[in-house]
Amino acid sequence: MQSPAQRTRRPICRGARRQRVARLWATLAACAVAYAFCGTAGAAGDDPTSSDALPPLDAGTSLLVVAPHPDDEILCCAGIMQRVLAAGGRVNVVWITSGDGSELSLLFAQHSILPTRTASRTLGARRMAEARRATALLGVAPQAQWFLGYPDGALLSVLQQQDRRMPATSYFTDAAAVPYPDALAPGHAYLRANLIADFAAVLERAQPTLVLAPSTRDTHPDHRAAGLLTAAAAADGQRWQLRYWIVHGGEGWPSPRGLHPGLPLTTAPRLAGDTPADLVLSPQEEDRKLLALRCHVTQMQFLAPFLLSFVRTTELFYR
């Protein structure tokens, strides 16, 4: 279902869409090459010398949050999503995977270190439902929630594919194509071209003015891949602004672990030297962030001390 605003937008012809996807593919290839040679310290889209503040968050803001897995959207962006919606702006969230490779959840659900395809897909469906509840609690409309359904733990492999005709296969679900019927494009093979096209389709529908994506310096490969994908799209002459956030920012971070009301988030070791723009949350925004995080029951069961470390008085975003 599309919102009235989406229905009134001018349609984009297929030829223009193919050209945009082709440019995005070429830009992504260049980013991947630069990433391979420079490593995470100089990955595409990061500028360690910039300390630009966030753009104004008002009724004209159209925010898109890019989350590699369900729960990432809450950890780093629950406060800013609330702020944009309270100002009368629009918020969209896209999850690149469905989180069906959460090994601790699968281990305890099956009592086995070898997850079955059925258990992994069931977990993915459950985590998608948790993410929908969490973002709906913040006020995000159902039609502004997008799942792409690409393989958890293998996003970087998809982006680095050498054979454009051979799809990746998920270790967890044994799927070589998007297996979830409520995803954006069910049945799309796990090919780099399809991932790029699906992400471009979300950008067309969301029409963002501000995109928040994982840092390419994050230690998790899925997060780096999501950051590279977004950086490539930003390099394709887009008019929206891009800021980065980080979850896996270095050993022991965030510190201290657990829920500590009134404590601000510190800069991650992986981003040492960068000056972030900090969004100071109100007590009400912080409380609602905690409620939204608790919707991710499958992850809170085993990772609560780490996840709760992100419920702080600030959220940090990097240029």
pLDDT above 90 as % of the chain:
73
Q: How confident is the model at residue 115 (pLDDT cuts 50, 70, 90)?
A: low
Give the whole-angstrom CA distance, residue 270 versus residue 195: 27
Question: Residue 254 carries which DSSP code?
Answer: S
Query: Higher pLDDT residue, 18 or 291?
Result: 291
Q: Which tens digit of pLDDT belongs to each residue from 53-110? A: 899 999 999 999 999 999 999 999 999 999 999 999 999 999 999 999 876 656 665 5
Exposure letters 16-50 (e unless 16+ CB within 10 A, then b): eeeebbebbbebbeebbeebeeeeeeebbbbeeee
Full domain range(s) for residue 134: 14-317
Number of domains, the chain: 1
Name the strand (E) or helix (H) holding 32: helix 14-38
Asked if residue 204 belongs to a domain, the reply is yes
CATH, residue 114: 3.40.50.10320
Q: Kindly report, residue by residue over 239-285, the tens digit of the pLDDT.
A: 899 999 999 999 999 999 999 989 999 999 999 999 999 999 999 99
Between 37 and 150, where is the model more confident? 150
1 in a structural domain: no
Q: Is residue 184 part of a domain?
A: yes
